Amino acid sequence: MTAAASKNLARLAEAAFERRGDYEALLFEGRWHGSAELFSRACRLAGGLAALGIQAGERVVVSMANCPEVTIAYQALWRAGAVVTPATFLLTTPDLRHVIADSGAVAVITTPDFVGKVREAVEGLPDVRHVISTSTAEGGGASGDAGVLALSSLEADSPAPIVARADDDLAALLYTGGTTGRAKGVMLSHANLWFSGSAVQKASHVDGVNRGLVTLPLSHSYGILVTIGGMHSPESPVNVLLRWFDPRRFLEMIAEHRLQTSAVVPSMLHLLLAQPLEEFDLSSLVYLGCGAAPLAPGVAAEIERRIPGVTVRQGYGLTETAALISTNPVGREKPGSVGLPVPGTEVRVLDDDGEAVAAGEVGEICCRSPGLMRGYWRSGGRDPESTAETIRDGWLHTGDIGYIDDGGYLFIVDRKKDVIIRGGFNVYPRDVEDALLEHPAVTGAGVVGRPDERHGEEVVAFVSVSGEPGAVGTDSLVEWARDRIGGYKYPREVFIVDAMPLTAVGKLDRKALRTRVRVPAG
């Protein structure tokens, strides 16, 4: 295969730099970083990693909050032929240890503030040879931990050449969120990620819209998708990077730097709606791309009402599909839908017997595409049993319930495993949550089932509310939901919480809610 035809992500990054040249590409915490500086650092870091003995195919964990060094590390690892293994900095020490141990990582790259946690997590793990910190001093910074390498010391004098890797070779090992159990490694190849980055760029690119705000965790598949999509852009993207999402800072950066687009998740939109949006000059904002979790219909409409000229464009994907299955085409967005399958991706909706359903009928969403993972990982390599449960006859069974309308647009109803069966009837938690979110005082909602002797399961809701404590009662919220969805669907119990539990990427954490459900005695 020629270099031009290769799907190697290191070659993609190199081609992007050669095409664009040097320009002010990234603003982070008050400092602009040029594209030449970022590319040069990645090339030199690749040489330093190779000098440490890191081999092609070996896994290296990258665990830090958003900063320029995240993407520098990713590009350096791909250039060295290694496998990027992202781990959110929010992981507990035991969960971080699980990722490091299960992946068989030979090194961990982190920041000084997390060196202590990393060292604790790697203690006694025989595969880990190096802990690397972005600190400029050996020892990892203020703590002075012995044996921690400074990232800057690994940036060799001359750039390293690209280590040849086949398109199907592993590029990233991403661990699922673990909201339903222990996190599983998802094996994504260079070709998987190259395809998704190219597809999302083609579907979302608008000439002249190239100034973006990046607040998504770069450790998540959604954040990686946006990053690789930028490498495919025919223009020179300019990005402002935030260490993490902060709603007021988000609005300030858009106003100050005349930013045009940003990728978000639904919980971010909820938080933005609680801000005085009208006090900020958001006239430059054109698109908000929303994914990673279902979006209540009214939220997008309210964002578009309060920020004139902006369009919320929903998309859909899983870590197992390199974060992309469908997206709303520019200019042909359909409210409530996650869009059309991107070219090269096939989607079908199946009933419980594995038969395709008619347009408009609900079933499990299944797909196949060049972005489909190589399989799940189990310590030491591929996990054929878990992979076979999810991929059957080449089709990924997503576990999501949805339907395709007459126009081919995909709609998500809920997660299959989250469906509550009350008295033999299916209750989709999202239907209940959307009804509760229509209440003017409700700022967040999560619905789960609890065991019930009479009905099998009962519907239980948790909500967060605005205003003074006690301003809205739980009984009134039950009646509100009953009036809108009625029958067997409405929640018989509602609990008011200070805040909805979220995963590291802003998804509702139903596992955390289920631990709060009270099961009646006897």
Q: What is the pLDDT of residue 519?
A: 60
Distance CA 189, CA 7 (A): 9
Distance CA 445, CA 462 (A): 6
3-state SS string over 25-51?
EEEECCEEEEHHHHHHHHHHHHHHHHH
Q: What is the pLDDT of residue 140?
A: 45
Question: What is the mean predicted confidence (pLDDT) over 104-124?
Answer: 95
Rounded to the nearest 10 degrees, the angle between the axes of helix 474-485 and helix 429-437 is 110
Distance CA 130, CA 111 (A): 14
Assess contact for 367 and 174: CB atoms under 8 A: no
358-399: pLDDT as tens digits: 999 999 999 999 999 999 998 878 888 889 999 999 999 999
The three-point CA angle 434-438-439 to 5° equals 125
Radius of gyration of the chain (CA): 23
Distance CA 410, CA 316 (A): 9
Lowest mean pLDDT among 256-270, 293-307, 351-365, 506-520: 506-520
Q: What is the pLDDT of residue 146?
A: 58
Q: Which two tokens stand for residue 239?
A: 């990005």
Query: Is residue 51 predicted with pLDDT exceeding 90?
Result: yes
Name the more confident of 226 and 103: 103
Where on the phi/psi map is residue 394: left (φ > 0), alpha (ψ -120 to 50), or beta? left
Q: Which of 382, 396, 459 is nearest to 189 (CA)?
A: 382
12-28: pLDDT as tens digits: 999 999 999 999 999 99
Instruction: Give CATH superfamily name and number for 190-415.
Output: ANL, N-terminal domain (3.40.50.12780)
Backbone φ and ψ of 78, nearest 5°: -65, -35
Distance CA 396, CA 370 (A): 12
CATH label, 9-165, candidates 3.40.50.10470, 3.40.50.980, 1.10.8.60, 3.20.110.10: 3.40.50.980
391-421: pLDDT as tens digits: 999 999 999 999 999 999 999 988 778 888 8
Confidence of residue 145 (pLDDT cuts 50, 70, 90): low
Lowest mean pLDDT among 188-192, 321-325, 420-424: 420-424
Confidence of residue 3 (pLDDT cuts 50, 70, 90): very low
Confidence of residue 73 (pLDDT cuts 50, 70, 90): very high
Lowest mean pLDDT among 45-59, 105-119, 330-344, 497-511: 497-511
DSSP conformational letter for 502: B
Spatial CB neighbours of 209, under 8 Å, sequence gap ≥ 6: 260, 261, 286, 287
Q: Which two tokens stand for residue 201?
A: 């760029």
Torsion of CA 277, 278, 279, 282, to 10 degrees: 70
Q: What is the pLDDT of residue 132?
A: 96
Q: Which of 153, 119, 122 is nearest to 135 (CA)?
A: 153
Question: What is the mean predicted confidence (pLDDT) over 250-263?
Answer: 97
CATH class given for the domain over 419-514: alpha beta
465-494: pLDDT as tens digits: 987 777 788 889 999 988 888 777 889 999
Confidence of residue 137 (pLDDT cuts 50, 70, 90): low
Q: What is the pLDDT of residue 55?
A: 95
Query: Is residue 190 predicted with pLDDT exceeding 50?
Result: yes
Q: What is the pLDDT of residue 483?
A: 86
Distance CA 314, CA 294 (A): 9
Distance CA 163, CA 369 (A): 27
Q: What is the pLDDT of residue 522?
A: 47
Assess contact for 176 and 188: CB atoms under 8 A: no
Query: Is residue 520 predicted with pLDDT exceeding 70?
Result: no
- For the chain, percent helix, then strand, then coil, each to nearest 5? 30, 25, 40
Lowest mean pLDDT among 23-27, 68-72, 86-90: 86-90
Distance CA 209, CA 260 (A): 6
Query: Is residue 206 predicted with pLDDT exceeding 70?
Result: yes
Query: Pairing state of beta strands 107-110 and 59-63?
Result: parallel
Cα 429 to Cα 204, 274, 282, 410, 461, distances in angstroms: 30, 24, 34, 19, 9
Q: What is the pLDDT of residue 352?
A: 86
3-class secondary-structure state, position 417:
helix
Distance CA 252, CA 486 (A): 42
Query: Is residue 180 predicted with pLDDT exceeding 60?
Result: no
Residue 104: exposed, middle, or buried by beta-carbon count in 10 A (0-12, 13-18, 19+)? buried
Q: Looking at the chain, which residues constitute the CATH 3.30.300.30 domain(s)?
A: 419-514
Confidence of residue 463 (pLDDT cuts 50, 70, 90): very high
Query: Is residue 178 predicted with pLDDT exceeding 60?
Result: no
Q: What is the pLDDT of residue 179?
A: 43
281-330: pLDDT as tens digits: 999 999 999 987 778 778 899 999 999 999 999 999 999 999 999 999 99
Name the more confident of 142 and 293: 293
Q: Looking at the chain, which residues constitute the CATH 3.40.50.980 domain(s)?
A: 9-165
What's the first-to-final CA gap in the chain, in angstroms? 67
